[in-house]
Amino acid sequence: MSNANSAERVPTEVANSPVSKHNYQLFSNIRKPDLDDREYRLVTLENKLQALVISDPKTDKSSAALDVHVGHLCDPDDAAGLAHFCEHLHYYFEVSSEHLEGALDRFAQFFISPLFSDSCTDRELQAVDSEHKKNLQSDNWRVYQLEKDLSNPDHPYRKFGTGNLETLRDIPKANGQDIRKILLDFHSKYYSANIMKLVILGKESLDELTNWAVEKFSDIRDKNIEVPSFQGHPLTPAELEKQILVKPVKDLRHLEITFPFPDEAPFYKLQPSRYISHLIGHEGGGSILSLLKSKGWALSLSAGSSRGGINFEFFKVSIDLTEEGLEHYEDVIVIVFQYIDMIKKEGIQDWVFHECQSLASTSFRFKEKSPPSGFCSRVAGAMHQYAPEDFLSGPYLMFEFDKDKIRECLGYLSRDKFRLMLVSPSFDSTGWSKARYYGTEYTVEPLSENLKKALANSQPNPELSLPKPNDFIPESLDVKKAEVKEPLRQPAIIKETDVVRMWYKKDDTYWVPKANVWFSLKSPLSYVSPLTCTETRLYTDLLHDALNEFSYYAEVAGLSYSLENNTEGMVLNLEGYNDKLPNLLTKIVQKMAGLKVDPERFKFIKEQLTRSYKNWAMESPHQHAIYSTTYITQEKLWTHEEKLAELEGITPEMIQNFYPHLLEAMYIEGLVHGNVEEQEALKLLEIVEKAFSPKPLPVFQRWETMRTQVVPTGSSYIYLRDVPNANNLNSAIEYYLQVGDFTDAELRAKLSLFSQIGNEPCFDQLRTKEQLGYMVFSGLRKQTGLVGYRIIVQSERDPAYLESRVESFLEKMESVITEMTPEEYSKHQAALAAKLLEKDKNLGQESGRLWSHVNSRYYNFEQHVIDAKTVKEISQASMLEFYEEHIAVSSPTRRKLSVHIRSQKTGMVTGPEGEQVLKAATVLEGDEEIAELKAKWELGAGAVPVRPVQEFMKQ
Predicted confidence (pLDDT) per residue in 276-295, tens digit: 999 999 999 999 999 999 99
pLDDT score of 16: 43
pLDDT score of 8: 30
pLDDT at 908 over 80: no
pLDDT at 69 over 80: yes
| Active site positions, annotated | 87
Q: How confident is the model at residue 943 (pLDDT cuts 50, 70, 90)?
A: very high
Q: Could you tell me the pTM of the whole model? A: 0.94
Q: How confident is the model at residue 90 (pLDDT cuts 50, 70, 90)?
A: low
| Lowest-confidence region among 115-119, 318-322, 602-606, 758-762 | 115-119
CA angle 715, 720, 725 (to 5 degrees): 155
For residue 655, how far is the Cα from the chain centroid?
32
Q: Mean pLDDT of all residues in the chain? A: 94
pLDDT at 115 over 90: no
pLDDT at 4 over 80: no
End-to-end Cα spacing for the chain:
40
Over residues 473-489, the pLDDT tens digits come to 999 999 989 888 899 99
Give me the half-sphere count of Cα atoms (radius 13 Å) on the Cβ side of residue 574.
Answer: 28
Measuring CA to CA, how many Å separate 797 from each of 621, 707, 861, 898, 900? Answer: 12, 34, 42, 16, 11
Share of the chain above pLDDT 90, in %: 90
Over residues 123-174, the pLDDT tens digits come to 888 889 999 999 999 999 999 999 999 999 999 999 999 999 999 999 999 9
Q: What's the average model confidence in pLDDT over 679-688?
A: 98
Dist. CA 613–CA 425, nearest whole Å: 15
Q: What's the average model confidence in pLDDT over 430-434?
A: 97
Q: Report which of 790, 787, 782 is spatially closest to residue 736, judged by C-alpha positions.
A: 790
If DSSP states are collapsed to H, E and C, what string results for 551-620?
A: HHHHHHCCEEEEEEECCCEEEEEEEEECCCHHHHHHHHHHHHHHCCCCHHHHHHHHHHHHHHHHHHHHCC
Q: Report which of 681, 676, 684, 685 is spatially closest to residue 511, judged by C-alpha positions.
A: 676
pLDDT at 946 over 60: yes
Q: What's the average model confidence in pLDDT over 748-764?
A: 97
Dist. CA 420–CA 256, nearest whole Å: 6
Over residues 509-523, the pLDDT tens digits come to 999 999 999 999 999
pLDDT at 20 over 70: no
pLDDT at 17 over 60: no
Dist. CA 64–CA 62, nearest whole Å: 7
